[in-house]
Structure 1
Amino acid sequence: MTTLSEATYDTPYGPGRIVARRSDRPWAVLVLTHGAGGGIESHDLEVLTAGLPKLGVGVVRIEMPWRTAGKRIASAPSVLDASFTSLVDHLRPRVPLFIGGRSAGARVACRRGRALGAVGVVALAFPLHPPGRPERSRADELLGAGVPTLVVQGERDTFGTPAEFPLGTSMVVLPGADHSLKVAKRAEPDQAAVDALLVEGVHEFLHHRVGRSGTAGE
């Protein structure tokens, strides 16, 4: 059984929201934030929130102040970083901390993970470049995370296909999935199978980084 809690906290840029799904016997916690085009109700964040706590990983979703305020346009990267840091500082996990996010939220996680003491970063649908503009690469943010990083990328992501990522990137590829990590209605494998791959891939990464004793792995 898992429990859900929700709270709102002030940041230097207005209030943000924290929604936590706790595990009865946690051995890690994964903090996730959303992208510029959606909120914490994004499909992939919902899938991980439903699946990981059953496996011993608490999931905390962070809603940025711009989203809490009902705005349609995301804040500048520096504002996102400061807001995320302020909200994560309210958490007091007693188990190893992982930081992650989807799309623009994955960029925030890569920029702030090490400073926040994370033992790993989970980058969902990392926007390696704007669609059709591969010369505007954001690989430096990914490579500069400073902690082990897992990329979960859709095979058809127009913000960067798996083959475009730097050599050696630790990655879970979701067959047929787009930037939302969703597949077409009649795709094979179907959405349920792809969602299972998402949960399994993230769980394996966390488990590899953290021994069940609760200490960071090599």
Structure 2
Amino acid sequence: MNAAGAEQLTIAVSDNSNVSALLLRPAEPRAAYVFAHGAGAGMAHPSMQTIAAGLAERGIATLRYQFPYMEKGSGRPDPPAVAQATVRAAVAEAARRCGDLPLFAGGKSFGGRMTSQAQAKAPLAGVRALVFLGFPLHAAGKPSSERAAHLAEVKIPMLFLQGTRDALAELDLLQPMVRGLGARATLQLVKEADHSFHVLKRSGRNDGEVMAEVLDAFAAWVTKLS
């Protein structure tokens, strides 16, 4: 166990590639979330730990894991094929460890997109739905919806948790994209939050209050599908 009470695991991605993982399972879980990190911060980043702990308080177990590039300390994300293989390995590990629970998958930014790409190519075994914590629709300052094209191939429910100030998902592109996915997609906007769910002081709220809103919405949606 680590200081936050998570069990440390090793996941085999291939014959010559292993990654670290952290399983945080509350006493009475009602669902499990396979939780991938963003491009610039690994599974042990304080924001990842805060989300995992908050979900545990709401009865949701999490399996956080590293992508190979983060495991090696590289600053360049893995090619999509490698990232997607890692997602599949993590989902399989979660199914082994939490097979008694409804299984969800997704992650922050890059991790969420790699999860949806994997699901679009071939369904992730046992996964009921995807949850995105800030889907990166486009690069900052380069508005486009091209990164979302693969979502048309995702046939399970999806929840998009997005800040209204997210520089990687302009609302005039994000909202029609989600509508175009039909009933299987749900968009939960977080007022005045950015891509990391940070809010400015003038909003009248603090980051802790915003994260509670995000996690409450996450848990309520998962409960409906569990």
- TM-score between both structures, scaled by the size of structure 2: 0.84
Note the alpha carbon deviations across 1:35-77, whole angstroms, 9 max, x for none. Answer: 2121123454323211121222111111112111111111111
Structure 2 partner of 1:58: 61
Structure 2 partner of 1:107: 113
Structure 2 partner of 1:27: 30
Does the residue aligned with 2:222 lie in a helix, a strand or coil?
helix
Q: 1:28 Cα shift?
A: 0.7
Structure 1 partner of 2:192: 176
Q: CA distance change for structure 1 residues 3 and 43 in 2, over 3 Å: closer, same or farther?
A: closer
Q: Provide the alpha-carbon RMSD of the alignment.
A: 2.0
Q: Which runs of 4+ in 1 moved over 6 A?
A: none
Hey, which of these two has a bigger chunk of helix by percent? 2
Q: Does 1:198 align with 2:214?
A: yes
Structure 2 partner of 1:46: 49
Matches of 1:29 and 1:53, distance apart in 2 = 9
Q: Does 1:68 align with 2:77?
A: no
Which residue identity does 1:125 align to in structure 2?
G
Does the residue aligned with 1:72 lie in a helix, a strand or coil?
coil
Which residue identity does 1:175 align to in structure 2?
K
**Mapping for residues 201-212 of structure 1, pairs under 5 Å:** 201-210=217-226
Which residue identity does 1:15 align to in structure 2?
N
138-147 vs 114-123, greater mean Cα deviation: 138-147
Matches of 1:153 and 1:42, distance apart in 2 = 20
Gaps of 5+ in 2: none
Decide whether the 8 Å contact of 1:3 with 1:23 is kept in 2: no
Q: CA distance change for structure 1 residues 175 and 199 in 2, over 3 Å: closer, same or farther?
A: same
Structure 2 partner of 1:160: 169
Q: 1:190 Cα shift?
A: 1.4
**Match for residue 88 of structure 1 among 80, 86, 91:** 91
Count residues in correspondence. 209
Q: 1:138 Cα shift?
A: 1.6
Matches of 1:79 and 1:97, distance apart in 2 = 22
86-95 vs 14-23, greater mean Cα deviation: 86-95
Matches of 1:186 and 1:56, distance apart in 2 = 33
Does the residue aligned with 1:119 lie in a helix, a strand or coil?
strand
84-93 vs 30-39, greater mean Cα deviation: 84-93
Which residue identity does 1:176 align to in structure 2?
E
Matches of 2:44 and 2:204, distance apart in 1 = 25
8-17 vs 62-71, greater mean Cα deviation: 8-17
125-134 vs 138-147, greater mean Cα deviation: 138-147
Structure 2 partner of 1:150: 159
Structure 2 partner of 1:216: none
Note the alpha carbon deviations across 1:82-121, whole angstroms, 9 max, x for none. Answer: 1221233223121110001111111122123432321010
Matches of 2:194 and 2:46, distance apart in 1 = 12
Matches of 1:156 and 1:187, distance apart in 2 = 12
Percent identity of paired positions between Structure 1 and Structure 2: 28
Matches of 1:6 and 1:36, distance apart in 2 = 21
Q: 1:171 Cα shift?
A: 1.5
Which residue identity does 1:69 align to in structure 2?
K
Q: 1:126 Cα shift?
A: 0.5
**Match for residue 118 of structure 1 among 124, 127, 139:** 127
Decide whether the 8 Å contact of 1:36 with 1:74 is kept in 2: yes
Matches of 1:108 and 1:27, distance apart in 2 = 25
